[in-house]
Structure 1
Amino acid sequence: MRTIWILVLVTLSVVVYAQDGVPELITDRPDQTESSSVVPLNSLQIETGFVRENNKTDDARLISFAYNTTLLRFGLFNNFELRLGIDYLGEDVLANDTGVSDIYSGFGPLYTGFKVKIAEEDGWRPEVAFLGGLALPFTANKDFKTDYSALSSRFSFGHSFSERISLGYNIGVEWDGETPVPGYIYSAALGVGLTEKLGVFLEGFGLIPEEGGVEHLCDAGFTFLVLQNFQLDVSGGIGINENAIDNFFSFGFSYRFFK
């Protein structure tokens, strides 16, 4: 939480003047679909927020928190960005049979990755990017340390139907670190610009593991562009099938430092 407030204070203390030619602020939050755009060359983009997930089973009620889920994106080349992520997590597990609640908190595994743009949008052909990442279990608090390294890879596609309507979708594979068995991920998000500053999105996403139950979810949310390089967001979603979590809620902000 302290990191979030420090970032907020730093951001709000910066006076941003309107400039012609400033690239559009495109973020990878709050939806689950990663954008097919990379951050501008030599720019640092911070995307951070809070997430609460609720899930109830026959044995327990689980409330999971990401008090501070932060992703740093740096434009190393015109078509390539480096990515570094860290989450401060919490869990509250209430056993139904005993009524005893166990509470955990600590840092999750450090995430390192990249995104490379493969193709620009051209008519019917979408914008295409590839993302790869690795989460390192030894960097996590003992309560959130996984047995294996978590790997992820996905292709991201983007279509612009007009200045205010766009569609993004991802397909990929990931290893969550809990088992050596991979799962296949999918997502599709429709974004609509209601005004020049206010946007809304609708999304469906899920996980299809090689072993275990399939998870399908949907969510929706709003983004508000406060300044050219500063955006607020709020979103929420629900699980569609029994294997998915019951619901979740998120809010956060994104800020890009000028070159």
Structure 2
Amino acid sequence: MDNIKDTVLEVIYSILPIAIVITVLQFTIIWLPMEAFVQFLIGVLFVGVGLILFLLGVNVGLLPVGEMIGSALTKTKMIGVIVLFGFLLGAVVTFAEPDVRVLSSQIDSVSGGAIPQSILIMSVAIGVGIFVALAMFRIVFNIPMIYLLAGGYALVFIMAALTPSNFVPISFDAGGVTTGPLTVPFILALGVGVATVIRGKSASSDGFGLVGLASIGPILSVLILGVIYG
């Protein structure tokens, strides 16, 4: 019950400021049609209920399961299995990420179908999967994160110079949407689970940094799409 109460309060504190600001603007400056304002209030209610249910699901299901999967994979002591399932889980959870689907539909709309929605989602998912697998490899062999981040972004800047300019902002947005409400908790829990088994509870912080590393993958994959479609 405490978990439900804390989640409800967290959502209220998150949504209330924007609801208050838009309400003040409505009756002082913008004066939207009352029908549109009522739709906004209904939307706020739906978003609030949806966020409460979603956060409860994350806390009850995604986080514990992600951590248990990471622990179980590490106990196999098979590096290939850890890396392979890191790739598969990173790709699959990205397919389910709502932010990725919003971005892909927007790009499909403004490009007139020149960049198919399915191709963009698939390339982003593969990019995340590859870098989550790389993150698993980093945790196993204790490779400093700075080396991977520096190398990854150096490759990003090289690819950006070779890609048509209109693909560059799309690629960075693709990196941003993968840090959504579904991908982040699962990948973080997975990394903490792997790091905890390998180097003990005191070193479980080694599991962090996966999201920053994983966000490089979709940037590179969309830049590669730019080379292909450009």
TM-score interval (norm. to shorter):
under 0.3
**Structure 1 or 2: more helix by fraction:** 2
- Greater C-alpha Rg: 2
Larger RCO (CA within 8 A; separation ≥ 6): 2
**Structure 1 or 2: more strand by fraction:** 1
Normalising by structure 2, report the TM-score: 0.27
Normalising by structure 1, report the TM-score: 0.25
